[in-house]
């Protein structure tokens, strides 16, 4: 979740609808009676992060901020590894138990993660856990994700996740939003400058990697293995 004065707040699952700010096939926005906006990613089928969805999320953040909401919840019924990045840039992460997992599978498909991804993950999990997560492409169930610091709370269901995250939000009610925002900015200033200065280099490197024929073969094999595992589970 993101505080609307530029301060990240929390990542939760759902929120009671009171009013709707926009009607977008990719993203829906509602605001509850506490002034907390919920941005629901709703690109079928699995909310994979394409350019259009990312643009819709950015526009939603701008719109919610203009409405001077207290905070913003970013939520999805399901999404791929891109959701892990969105969770990492949030300040609080709650995950329900069950079949869902969280993590980055870059190395499994033949991609060397960018240094900025490691730096971001290390700030959340610590260097040791971040190194293991990236080199192994391990996908963490909720309980294990909590143990390594990838998430902040395990919830039994959506309502439980909401209450945990709202409690976190309320814990800052007596803190000046402006002072908190300034504090967050100087803590993250070095990382933000690094991201800005290396943006073009990182983009060029990614394009080079994914257009490499060897990478395409690895991806095909990875997808086929997933299909095989899914078929095997269906047969049992």
Which of 4-13, 85-94, 203-212, 219-228 has the least mean pLDDT? Answer: 4-13
User: Positive or negative, the Cα torsion across 198, 199, 202, 207?
Assistant: negative
Q: Of 41-45, 135-139, 168-172, which gets the smallest average pLDDT?
A: 41-45
Task: Choose the CATH number for 1-101+141-176 among 2.70.70.10, 3.90.226.10, 2.40.128.120, 3.90.1520.10.
Answer: 3.90.226.10
Instruction: Dig out the tokens for 171 from the structure.
Output: 């814990």
Indicate the pLDDT class of residue 23, thresholds 50, 70 and 90: low
79 pLDDT tier (thresholds 50, 70, 90):
low
pLDDT, residue 78, reads 65
Q: Which residue has the higher pLDDT, 229 or 142?
A: 142
Residue 207 to residues 50, 147, 204: CA-CA distances in angstroms? 15, 34, 5
Q: Where are the domains of the chain?
A: 1-101+141-176, 104-138+198-236
User: DSSP of 163-185, one letter per residue?
Assistant: HHHHHHHHTTTTS-HHHHHHHHH
Q: Is the pLDDT of residue 150 over 80?
A: yes
User: Which pLDDT does position 188 carry in this prediction?
Assistant: 92
Please tell me the distance from the alpha carbon of residue 219 to that of residue 171, in angstroms, as a whole number: 44
Mean pLDDT of 131-159: 93
């Amino acid at each position: 979740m993101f505080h609307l004065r530029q301060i990240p707040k929390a990542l939760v699952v759902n929120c009671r609808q009171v009013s709707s700010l926009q009607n977008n096939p990719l993203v829906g926005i509602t605001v509850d009676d506490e002034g907390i906006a919920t941005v629901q990613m709703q690109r079928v089928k699995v909310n994979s992060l394409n350019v259009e969805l990312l643009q819709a999320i950015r526009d939603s953040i701008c719109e919610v901020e203009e409405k001077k909401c207290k905070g913003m919840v970013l939520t999805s019924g399901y999404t791929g590894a891109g959701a892990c990045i969105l969770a990492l840039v949030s300040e609080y992460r709650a995950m329900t138990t069950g079949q869902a997992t969280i993590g980055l599978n870059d190395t499994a498909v033949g991609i060397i993660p960018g240094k900025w991804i490691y730096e971001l993950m290390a700030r959340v999990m610590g260097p040791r856990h971040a190194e293991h997560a990236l080199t192994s492409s391990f996908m963490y169930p909720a309980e294990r994700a909590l143990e390594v610091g990838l998430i902040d709370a395990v919830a039994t269901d959506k309502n439980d996740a909401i209450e945990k995250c709202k409690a976190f939000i309320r814990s800052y009610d007596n803190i000046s939003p402006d002072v908190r925002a300034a504090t967050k900015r100087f803590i993250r200033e070095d990382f933000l400058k690094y991201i800005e200065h290396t943006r073009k280099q990182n983009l060029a490197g990614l394009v080079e990697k994914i257009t490499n024929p060897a990478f395409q073969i690895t991806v095909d094999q990875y997808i086929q293995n997933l299909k095989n595992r899914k078929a095997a589970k269906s047969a049992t």
